Amino acid sequence: MTSVRSTDHLDPATPRFQSGTRRGLPFGIAVFLISLSFGVLARPVMGSVAPVVMSIMVFSGAAQFGSLAVLAAGGGAGAAIATGLLLNARYLAMGLALAPSLRGRPASRAAFAMTTVDASWAAASRGDGTFDPWYMVGVSVPQYIGWVLGTVVGVLVGPAVGHPDALGFDALFPAFFVALLLEEVRGRRRLAAAGGGAGTALVLTPFVPAGLPILAAAGAALVASRLRS
């Protein structure tokens, strides 16, 4: 066993936070465009204030698009909430993974954990199962700003844009995940986890409620962890 990384104590928080924000800047631009399309789509369904409040309070692409789709199709709050929470159920797994890397009082651990979003969590992974919390906060900040600003702009310009799918905006979100995935997948076991996760999600999508296929994909990580590296 190697000793616990002591760099957390030697390396001050500020430079790690700053290098995180630099890393997060392109993510912020990408999520600005994605949330712009959310604002455009949400305005006819939710009015112009609620989408912005939602982006401020929920800050989650998958859950916001998923619950919006339910509401737009005439579904009730119960179905919209269930869909959104299932789509975010992966945060439970991500939180469990992150937990041992968070130190200090519960309030401080909670504050770090609240800044978790997909791109930051993946970027803050050190590759050995541990995470850099200050780096993660840094990567999240430009994304939060981009997410909220994009929603505001989307709500404002919405009527002029028409349907954002005509502009190919629905390809922004998956393209963002391609970029995150290509940075992440290094080596045979990660490739196996990615392939297994994608396969699991594809096979389950027609049969179970939205979100569960993504959560179930975590099982692929379990299987791939048994492979020799």
Partner 1 sequence: MTAIWITIASLALGTAALKLAGPLLLGGKPLPPNALSVVELLASALLAALLVVETFGKGRSLTLDARVLGVAFAAILLTRLAPMIVAVLGAAAVTALARAIA
Within 148-187, which residues bind partner 1 (CB under 8 A)? 165-182, 184-185
Which of 84, 150, 154, 158 contacts partner 1 by CB under 8 A? 84
- DSSP of 181-220: HHHH--SHHHHHHHHHHHHHHHHHTTTS-TTHHHHHTHHH
Q: Considering the rule CB under 8 A, would residue 21 count as an interface residue with partner 1?
A: no
Near partner 1 by CB under 8 A: residue from 81, 157, 159, 162: 81
Q: Which is nearer to partner 1, 27 or 144 (CB)?
A: 27
Of 103, 57, 93, 98, nearest to 197 (Cα)? 93
String marking each residue 102-131 x if it binds partner 1 according to CB under 8 A: xxx-x--xx-xxx-x-x--xx--x-xxxx-
Distances (CA, A) of 147 to 19, 28, 122: 20, 7, 18
Tokens of 175: 């393209």
In the bound complex, what is the minimum distance in angstroms from residue 90's beta carbon to partner 1? 5
Mapped onto helix, strand or coil, the DSSP state of residue 205 is coil
The token pair at 149 is: 């600003």
* CB 148, min distance to partner 1, A: 14
Size of the site for partner 1 (CB under 8 A): 107
Identity of the amino acid at 70: V
Restricting to residues 86-105, name those near partner 1 by CB under 8 A.
Answer: 88-100, 102-104
Residues in a beta bridge with 131: 125
Contacts with partner 1 in 29-68 (CB under 8 A)?
29-30, 33, 45-47, 50, 53-54, 57-60, 62-64, 67
Query: 10: number of CA atoms within 13 Å, CB side?
Result: 4
